[in-house]
Amino acid sequence: MKLKVTVGSESRRLELRRAAHGWECRLEGDRRVVDAVEVAPGVFSLLVDGESFTLHVERVGDVYRVRSRGADLVAAVENPRRWAGPALRGALRAGRQEVSAPMPGKIVRVLVGEGQAVEAHQGLVVVEAMKMQNEIPSPKAGVVEQVLVREGDTVEHGQGLVVVA
């Protein structure tokens, strides 16, 4: 996953990749790989060149407050999936859409049934990954054509969950 992170007036791209025990993070312009693990809600342990850091992250409106070693920063994070203009977003929602798992995990709840009308952004299923429950939303208003998973199923990244027409 690639994000744009802005702290003060400086913006950089951040690439996140799921690793065996957490995340690998690579900041644009920096060749180091940072290992990150969420050790408690909003508390992350980072390993950078053999040195350990603890970050406390709190969401405040549209930004994140990040504290570590006496430093207190405010960071804005943009997801490139939201960068597309209105014309592209409309095109992505047109027609039949298969909603896929954004991460590997376990289906803990199926929130819709076949033939059910749904609104854009309405929750379809809940996937648990790394002890966090993530509600997967509908990309558009429509009707659930097919539910491809059941509660208790294990899914892989990219696996189909629900089809909305």
Write the pLDDT tens digit of every residue in 130-159: 888 888 888 888 999 999 999 999 998 888
In a domain, 6, yes or no: yes
What was the pLDDT predicted at 70?
Answer: 86
Instruction: State the average pLDDT over residues 123-127.
Output: 92
Task: Give the number of other Cβ atoms within 10 Å of residue 23's Cβ.
Answer: 17
Q: What is the pTM of this model?
A: 0.47
By mean pLDDT, which of 41-50, 89-98, 111-120 is the weakest?
89-98
107, two tokens: 């289906």
Distance CA 3, CA 17 (A): 11
Q: Last residue of a domain, which of 30, 58, 80? A: 80
Query: Do both 71 and 107 map to the same domain?
Result: no
Query: Do both 76 and 120 map to the same domain?
Result: no
Q: Last residue of a domain, which of 51, 80, 109? A: 80
In a domain, 107, yes or no: yes
Ranges 11-25, 64-78, 110-124, most confident:
110-124
Instruction: State the average pLDDT over residues 39-56.
Output: 87
Instruction: State the average pLDDT over residues 56-80.
Output: 85
In a domain, 88, yes or no: no
What was the pLDDT predicted at 145?
Answer: 94
| Residue 114 confidence class, pLDDT cut points 50, 70, 90 | very high
Over the chain, what HEC string results? Answer: CEEEEEECCEEEEEEEEEECCEEEEEECCCCCCEEEEEEECCEEEEEECCEEEEEEEEEECCEEEEEECCEEEEEEEECHHHCCCHHHHHHHHCCCEEEECCCCEEEEEECCCCCCEECCCCEEEEEEECCEEEEEECCCCEEEEEECCCCCCEECCCCEEEEEC
112: Cα within 13 Å, side-chain hemisphere: 27
Pairing between strand 160-164 and 97-100? antiparallel
Query: Do both 76 and 109 map to the same domain?
Result: no
**Which CATH number do you get for residue 115?**
2.40.50.100
Distance CA 160, CA 136 (A): 12
Query: Do both 23 and 72 map to the same domain?
Result: yes
Strand partners, 104: none
Looking at the 3D structure of the chain, how many domains does it have? 2
In a domain, 89, yes or no: no
Pairing between strand 160-164 and 154-155? unpaired
Q: Last residue of a domain, which of 80, 107, 132? A: 80
Is the pLDDT assigned to residue 71 strictly greater than 90?
no
**Which CATH number do you get for residue 69?**
3.30.700.30
Is the pLDDT assigned to residue 17 strictly greater than 90?
no
Q: Which residue range is the domain that position 67 belongs to?
A: 2-80
Query: Do both 126 and 157 map to the same domain?
Result: yes
* CA 131 to chain CA centroid, nearest Å: 14
In a domain, 86, yes or no: no
In a domain, 87, yes or no: no
In a domain, 9, yes or no: yes
In a domain, 158, yes or no: yes
Distance CA 50, CA 155 (A): 33
